[in-house]
A and B are shown apart, each in its own frame.
Chain A
Amino acid sequence: MQAAASSKPAENRVVLAHIYTATVAVCLGAVFGVLQGFSRAGAIDAPAWFDYYRMLTAHGVLMALVFTTFFITGFSLFAVYRTIPRPGRRVAVGWIGWWTMLIGTVMAAVTILSGNATVLYTFYAPLKASPAFYLGATLLVLGTWVVAFEIFENAHYYRRGNPGQPLPLPVFMAAATFLMWIIATLGVVAEMALLIPWSFGWTPGVNVMLTRMFFWYFGHPLVYFWIMGAYIVWYTVIPTRYNGNVFSDGLARLTFLMLLILSTPVGIHHEFTEPGISSQWKLVFMVLTYGVAIPSFLTAFAIFASFETAAIKQGKRGFIATVRSLPWNDPFFSGAAYGMLLFILGGFGGMVNASYSMDTLVHNTIWIVGHFHATVGGPVALTFMGTTYWLIPRLTGRELWGRGVALWQTRLWFIGMLVMSLSMHYAGLLGAPRRTASVAYAGTAAAQSWEPSMLLAAAGGGILFISICCFAAVAIGTLFKNEKTHDTAAEFAVAAPGSERAPAAFEHLFRWGAVAIVLAVLAYSGPFAELIRSHAFLAPGMRTW
């Protein structure tokens, strides 16, 4: 295990600010989520103040954009601060990032809750929200760039002090993640450059397909941003829970380089059923999307190989002995491990969605919602919640209150998500649409076949809600109980002593970033040129809610 640097209060405070913001976002988002599930299934009469689409927008933005982003920025800063000791480190940049992200979030959230941005978290034009929504979302993104700068700057500091040494693995991974993120978010910033003047009324309309291409250029790498955040934890922290090692340092770095390069040129698989993009480009993007499955295969192998090597070290052999050797009663481990199990469902569902023609069967059905709840809502959310249990004592010096509650939180989340996600997958195959307040459709036969699954999905949502209440209870309990712990050192796993070092070429992250940009430009230049050449009409903005 890597020598752990001591805890520094100034560093801890800025990390805590990010992690607490993520915690508040996930709890609020879950309240909106459970109300939607029940009202959509027709299980409750929603209260009069409940506006389904407004709450759906809030749920999506809080969960997919706010919770995940603040957690990843916070955890990445934590990993950097604790693996690169730096006397007299200033954390002002981390704070500037947090404040920028927070101001953006508050602007967007207030606009959504006041009913001026009921455009869902994909904000498809020509639905036109108030400018404050787009400005807020842009600030949230720009704040992450500030955090990215802090990560790169610290990596640079490490390299100067340790010439010829590879970056510590968590720092390497965080830097690769944020490099990918910057390349990807250029898409949403380009889209905002079209949408912001338009929302102010300075331009008469937008080229709808162009905004969609920009959005999905960003929208799919966004999911890899979440996944990479979870992978950093799986590779570098989870093994410390069972005295394990990183299975292969080189392959771990290779996985992140592949994710850096392959995550961006994939977005058009979200646009398979759209006009304006020809079939051959859609096929090309299917092939590219399949390519990004490879680093996930590598990860699956590495994780299980790490489990097994640790079990063998304890003299345990075979599948069952390996599984039983793992610390299932540790809420951090169980959160991440149940997340990994859900990712098997999420990963294979993703292969279906990425499949050019098969996607037509599931596109915009609730299958897709089932899919991303088995990815971002499962592996990512469970890993982040589990990691929060690990982080809070290390950041506050307080003992975690209610370990049993925390453990059951992860179990209930797994069960609830499995029930909800599977029912959504099934209803989607029967054609039930996503993003709708009701699937009644005047009682037609097709619609009636969807209702039982919707009730089951709502039941799963109910279990998830109990789980999030447990999560909030542990967070609040820890704050109020205020019992001191000495367990504030953060250890990160490394490869077994004496194992081979990764090729030196892996360390040139910015060069790999340049490769990623070239590939993204090559992939998108064809469909982009097609759109630009077509005689596109501008669509005026509209407020249909």
Chain B
Amino acid sequence: MHIHRYERWWMIFGVTMLVVFMATIFIAAFAANINPPTGSQTIDPTKVSSTPPFDHPGLHRRSDGSYEAYYVASVFMFTPSKLEVPLGANVTFYVTSSDVVHGFEIAKTDVNAMAIPGWVNRASHTFSTPGTYLLICNEYCGIGHQNMYGTIEVK
């Protein structure tokens, strides 16, 4: 089948562009460890409040100086609804849901994870700017979805 010369050039240009985009993403993933949230741990969604560590939601300091925060999403609130984080802390968030699907987005950061009933999702962020961060549910969860938010105070 005959392919016009210009069309060949255009295809080479298009495919090269795709390869460059993908290479950027792969380098970011493997060299700089920039990955979206994930998690393989499962949890009984009907027993979240009695399953460790979600029976004690909130911020916990690890021995190496980093932090873990356990969050439970439920209609229409986050537990904890307020969190205080020391400036410069690297926090790994563990998020699950005790009812329907929710979103876990800390506005103006790169934390954006789905809270799925039955699974624990994980995302990390280093808080290097002080201030009040807005945590919102960004997946429709019901009639009060727009009221589902929390705050994270970094100081």
Contact = CB atoms under 8 A, between A and B. Distances in A.
Interface in B1-44: 1-4, 6-7, 10-11, 14-15, 18, 21-22, 25-26, 28-29, 34-44
A437 B145 contact: yes
A256 to B, nearest CB: 14
A446 B10 contact: no
Contacts of B105: 364-365, 431, 433
B46 interface: yes
Contacts of A127: 100-101, 141-142
A351 interface: yes
A363 B112 contact: yes
B136 A433 contact: yes
A248 B146 contact: no
Contacts of A540: 46
A438 B151 CA distance: 17
A544 B100 contact: yes
A544 B143 contact: yes
Contacts of A165: none
B7 A305 contact: yes
Interface string A421-458: 00000000011011111111110111100000000000
B110 A436 contact: no
A519 interface: no
A53 B117 contact: no
Contacts of A297: 10-11, 14
Contacts of B28: 357
A274 B114 contact: yes
B122 to A, nearest CB: 7
Interface stretch (A95-103, A236-244, A411-419, A529-537): A529-537
Contacts of B99: 126, 542, 544
B29 A537 contact: no
A534 B46 contact: no
Contacts of B43: 537
Interface stretch (A279-287, A469-477, A510-518): A279-287
Nearest to B99: A542
B114 A273 contact: yes
Contacts of A277: 38
Contact of B108 (A124, A360, A431): A431
Contact of B14 (A250, A276, A294, A535): A294
A536 B118 contact: yes
B132 interface: yes
A214 interface: no
A503 interface: yes
B116 to A, nearest CB: 6
Contacts of A433: 103, 105, 136-138
Which of B15, B120, B143, B144 gathers the greatest number of chain A CB atoms within 10 Å? B143
Contacts of B132: 444-445
A283 B29 contact: yes
B108 A446 contact: yes
Contacts of B100: 124, 126-127, 542, 544
Interface residues of A, number: 77
Given A251-B3, A297-B10, A542-B99, A536 B114 contact: no
How many chain B residues sit at the interface, stated as a range, is 35 or more
Nearest to B109: A431
A545 interface: yes
Contacts of A208: 101, 116-119
A273 B22 contact: no
Nearest to B98: A539
B141 A544 contact: yes
Which of B3, B43, B103, B132 gathers the greatest number of chain A CB atoms within 10 Å? B103
Contact of A436 (B4, B22, B122, B140): B140
A275 B1 contact: no
A43 interface: no
A437 B146 contact: yes
A209 interface: yes
A297 B7 CA distance: 10
Which of A127, A364, A542 gathers the greatest number of chain B CB atoms within 10 Å? A364
B38 A278 contact: yes
B142 A357 contact: no
Interface in A252-305: 254, 271-279, 282-283, 286-287, 290, 293-294, 297-298, 301, 305
A443 to B, nearest CB: 11
Contacts of A445: 132, 134
A502 interface: yes
A212 B117 CA distance: 12
Nearest to A354: B21
A233 B1 CA distance: 24
A446 B107 contact: yes
A364 B114 CA distance: 9
A359 interface: yes
A360 B37 contact: yes
Interface in A113-137: 118, 120, 124-127
Interface string B113-155: 1101111111000000000111011111111111001010000
Contacts of B35: 279, 356-357
A279 B29 contact: yes
Nearest to B15: A294
A34 B29 CA distance: 41
A293 B14 contact: yes
Contacts of A440: 146
Given A209-B119, A363-B36, A444-B134, 11 more contacts: A124-B139, A126-B100, A127-B100, A279-B35, A431-B105, A435-B140, A436-B146, A438-B146, A447-B134, A534-B42, A538-B118
9 contacts: A248-B7, A273-B113, A274-B113, A279-B29, A356-B25, A431-B105, A439-B146, A539-B118, A544-B100
Interface of B: 1-4, 6-7, 10-11, 14-15, 18, 21-22, 25-26, 28-29, 34-46, 75, 99-101, 103, 105, 107-108, 110, 112-114, 116-122, 132-134, 136-146, 149, 151
Interface of A: 53, 56, 118, 120, 124-127, 207-209, 212, 248, 250-251, 254, 271-279, 282-283, 286-287, 290, 293-294, 297-298, 301, 305, 351, 355-361, 363-365, 430-431, 433-442, 444-447, 500, 502-503, 530, 534-540, 542, 544-545
